[in-house]
Amino acid sequence: MASRPPARCVMVLGTTSGAGKSWLATALCRHYARQGLRVAPFKAQNMSNNARVVGEGEIGSAQFFQALAAGAEPDVRMNPLLLKPESDTHSQVVLLGQVRGDLGAMPWRERSNHVWPAITAALDALRAEYDVVVIEGAGSPAEINLADCDVVNLRVARHCNAACLLVTDIDRGGAFAHLYGTWALLPEADRARIKGFVLNKFRGDAALLAPGPQMLQDLTGVPTVAVLPMWWQHGLPEEDGLFHARPEFQGVVARTIAVVATSRISNLDEFQPLNDVPGVHLKWARGPADLAGADWVILPGSKHTSSDLAWLRAQGLDRAIAAHAAQGGAVLGICGGLQMLGEALIDPHGIDGNAPGLGLLPLVTLFELDKTVQRTNAQFGALTGAWAALSGVTMLGYEIHHGQTAQHPAMAAAGDLARVALTGPQAQPLGWQNAAGNVLGLYLHGLFEDPSILQALFGAAVPTLDSVFDGLADFVEQHFAPGVLQALVAAP
């Protein structure tokens, strides 16, 4: 029997970071899946502190959502290399789902030769199993200073002979220059891979763009195949960086939730559903004034907890959070945020750093060499106060952390105990609540992505991920020129 041909590859490149690669790749995953094709996402190297747990380890959140959009089981091969920034000059390196300290210690340029075989093996394996692989690039393919160590853009496109789209954010201005400049800096053979330009985040009448697209095509030979209108609330979390809260909140505000935007924030995408809850006003807090009027304050995950504690103190947010809690305001800490709420961080292995905590829960965190990366079923106990609605609710979430947290021995001996609020398998404690009931800390990510949690806390439901993915596919099908998306996957 003849073997099936390898999957066709469609690659989304961008003129810059933030041009719209991630959401467009997600939309294409759902579009091609709706055509009855077996689809998988792929991004060779992702730099992000937004990660999700899959069977064999962790991958970037963007590829996790793209896999769901494609109807495929998320897999470490879909994002073989994940870089999780811990400082301005160092990242934790995750290869095929597992932390690799040896790769993290290598110089940036030297590392590419060591990871390239794993990247190509992952891509080739996906191509053997699927009909279409939708590939997301990173940054820009025209970063000529990095061309010799590229493992995520042109080198990948050449390996699989990908048909490429080049997307730019026209809202930033200079879109035609971005597109032409990127195309012009590519090696001549790679220019032929660019099958279409995409103008993203356009406001106004697209007819006013003329004659720009035709002039650009005359210069490059590449047509502009889509003009995508500005769309604030498509419902998909940003790949990295803070997502936009609703630009103009309408209706009655029942609850204002301030998420503290620390310098090493991680897994912030789990708060995206709060943007769609009726009556909830979500905002990001970077200073004490941003907590004014907040009903809830959330301390999110952190890729470097001790650094974020230092940042909180430098901003004066430690005092503002303590004052909020003292007045009975609700405080929620998730993962790194939970660790911050305790009395101390103890780091004998040099993983994160020693630091005093905020002292809002009588807990201490010990950092260990082994990293916990797993999906977990857990159940809330009998909670009181602000979080009483969660009592007895079960949830499926995920853990990604080095620290292990327990009651502070001295404070426990003195009778100052936190109530175990959330338990996992074998009654493993995964969350704690203070005696007053207003401060809650959890190790489990994914709280606001669970429909039962949203129903318990807010009495509301939000759009399902499937409806979000279908909306993305509808959007691109409406705005791409007829036949373009089919041509990208047609046999050469």
Cα–Cα distance measured from residue 85 to residue 92, given in angstroms and rounded to the nearest whole number = 6
| 280: three-class secondary structure by DSSP | strand
Give the 3-state DSSP-derived string for 303-319, with helices as H, strands as E and coil as C.
CCHHHHHHHHHHHCHHH
Q: Please tell me which residue in 31, 178, 445, 479 is annotated as part of the active site.
A: 445
- C-alpha dihedral (417, 418, 422, 428), degrees to nearest 10: -40
**DSSP at 406:** E
Residue 29 catalytic?
no
Cα–Cα distance measured from residue 486 to residue 492, given in angstroms and rounded to the nearest whole number = 12
Reported as type and span, the H/E element at residue 344 is strand 344-346
On the 0-12 / 13-18 / 19+ scale of CB atoms within 10 A, 144 is: exposed
Cα–Cα distance measured from residue 264 to residue 110, given in angstroms and rounded to the nearest whole number = 26
Strand residues in 381-484 grouped as ranges (E): 394-407, 419-423, 429-433, 439-442
Residue 445 catalytic?
yes
Reported as type and span, the H/E element at residue 23 is helix 21-34
104 CB neighbour count, 10 Å cutoff: 17
Q: Please tell me which residue in 9, 160, 164, 335 is annotated as part of the active site.
A: 335
Amino acid at 240: D
Q: Which residue has the tokens 């990173």?
A: 138
Tell me the backbone φ, ψ of residue 98, rounded to 5 degrees. -120, 140
| 357: three-class secondary structure by DSSP | coil
Cα–Cα distance measured from residue 348 to residue 253, given in angstroms and rounded to the nearest whole number = 46
End-to-end CA, the chain: 22
Closest CA to 131 of 54, 43, 72, 79: 72
> Is 431:422 a contact under the CB 8 Å cutoff?
yes
> Is 246:256 a contact under the CB 8 Å cutoff?
no
161 CB neighbour count, 10 Å cutoff: 12
Closest CA to 53 of 319, 386, 375, 346: 375
Cα–Cα distance measured from residue 111 to residue 106, given in angstroms and rounded to the nearest whole number = 6
Cα–Cα distance measured from residue 181 to residue 194, given in angstroms and rounded to the nearest whole number = 13
CA angle (127 as vertex; 121, 128 as ends), nearest 5: 90
**What b-and-e string marks burial along 282-306, b requiring 16 or more CB atoms within 10 Å of the CB?**
bbbbeebebbeebbbbbbbbbbbbb
Which residues belong to the active site? 335, 445
